[in-house]
Amino acid sequence: MKQIRLLTAVCVTALCCAVTFSGTVLGMQFWYHKTEQKFERLAELDGYIQNNYYTDFDENALMDTMLKGYVAGLGDRYSQYLTPDEYGALMTKEAGKTVGIGVTVIQNEEGYPQIIEVQENSPAQKAGLQKEDVLLAVNGEDIVQKGYEEAIAEIKGEEGSAVKLTVRQNGTEKEISVIRETFDIMTVSSEMLDGHIGYIAVSNFRENTAEQFQNALEELLKQGADALLFDMRNNGGGLLTSLEKMLDPLLPEGEIATATYHGNKTEVILKSDSKEMNLPMAVLVNGNTASAAELFAASLRDFKQAKLVGTQTFGKGIMQVTTTMEDGGGLTLTVATYQTTKSECYHGIGLEPDVVIEISETDTEDVQLEAAKKLFES
């Protein structure tokens, strides 16, 4: 009897393995068939173009555009193929760095760039450029005559190279040479408001944002902050790794947020340790508060009962991952939805503020900020 049972078990196991192998083979055959069909269509198209297009063309540019088009076929605005240059620029951006001179400009009534912000520790600051300066010429060429967009592109340039700018500063024209560098972008600013309210504004979530946030938080606590107001308005999101480091000291111990991947696989993506800051908190939000910035706001509301003040947020509750491709480029692909462990995914919906405050053109002060400050009044 034991021998019969053993033989039966062996036969059943063999049958299961055969079925599994057969299923795998059939799955692979189906995949290869679909792939073969794709390449047959592409080969037909490419052959016709190669034989009939009226002039020479850039094969690499054609391939890049084809790869971009393939990903665009998903119909997902957040997924994209990146050329090697674009991928390198994205990695620099996510690291919280940029290459250039470090100014933000607007086009004034004369058509020239006017500086509205000089980045701290930037080449522009080192060279003496100031807010309100008007850029008149780049490398000796008048910017209006050269063309505004073309001039801005020339000012950006490559790391280590110099750009000569003709600047109108305090009514006087002068020549200033600036060496372009890679430098840190400041994504966090802070100040102590009346009533010992520690105010921290975050513009993006980059690799260096968490460190900047921690430094700002520690400084405000040293100054005696009794409450914390976080400004996530116009913050389009960024890296969840930075978000977790920023939320950790603020929230109680436990699992904060989860992501749901292909096949309904769910994983915890944000956790907090046992250290928790027991101060009243609030978050400023608006229609441009998206992605990680929304998750920051949702987490504070769900776990600290912080109030959200402002207007309905953007509603981006999906996560992208960027992968390096063999050609040196990259693929940014949407891979999951996410949400806090206490509320539903807000993708396509956004977060409704606890205190809704619209801003009008006639407002002479930041009415959303003032409304948030009142929440801390005893």
> For residue range 209-227, what is the model confidence (pLDDT) as tens digits?
999 999 999 999 999 999 9
46 CB burial (10 A radius; 0-12, 13-18, 19+)? middle
The reported pLDDT for the residue numbered 3 is 42
- Whether 16 shows a pLDDT value over 60: the answer reads no
Q: What is the pLDDT of residue 6?
A: 40
Question: pLDDT at residue 376 above 90?
Answer: yes
Q: What pLDDT is stored for residue 314 in this prediction?
A: 98
Bridge-based pairing state of the strands 355-356 and 307-310: parallel
Residue 63: name the closest of 281, 242, 328 by CA.
328
In CATH terms, the fold of domain 188-374 is: 2-enoyl-CoA Hydratase; Chain A, domain 1 (3.90.226)
pLDDT band of residue 372 (cuts 50, 70, 90) is very high
The domain made up of 98-184 has a fold known as Pdz3 Domain (2.30.42)
At residue 33, the pLDDT reads: 62
Confidence check: pLDDT of 63 > 90: yes
Handedness of CA 264, 269, 273, 278 (dihedral sign): negative
**Averaged pLDDT, 51-69:** 94
The yes-or-no verdict on residue 11 having pLDDT over 70 is no
> Strands 172-179 and 307-310, how do they pair?
unpaired
* Residue found under tokens 């989860």: 258
pTM above 0.85, yes or no: no
CA nearest neighbour of 61 among 79, 39, 84, 80: 84
Overall average pLDDT of the 166-173 stretch: 95
Distance, in Å, from the CA atom of 66 to the CA atom of 8, rounded to the nearest integer, reads 55
Which secondary structure element, helix H or strand E, spans residue 70, and what is its range?
helix 59-72
Q: What is the pLDDT of residue 150?
A: 92
Q: Domain boundaries in the chain?
A: 98-184, 188-374
pLDDT-derived band at 19, boundaries 50, 70, 90: very low
pLDDT 10s digits, 108-119: 999 999 999 898
What would the DSSP string read from start to end of 95-132? TTEEEE--EEEEE-TTS-EEEEEE-TT-HHHHHT--TT
Q: What is the pLDDT of residues 273-298, one digit of tens each?
A: 999 999 999 999 999 999 999 999 99
Average model confidence (pLDDT) across the chain: 90
Q: Is the pLDDT of residue 130 over 50?
A: yes
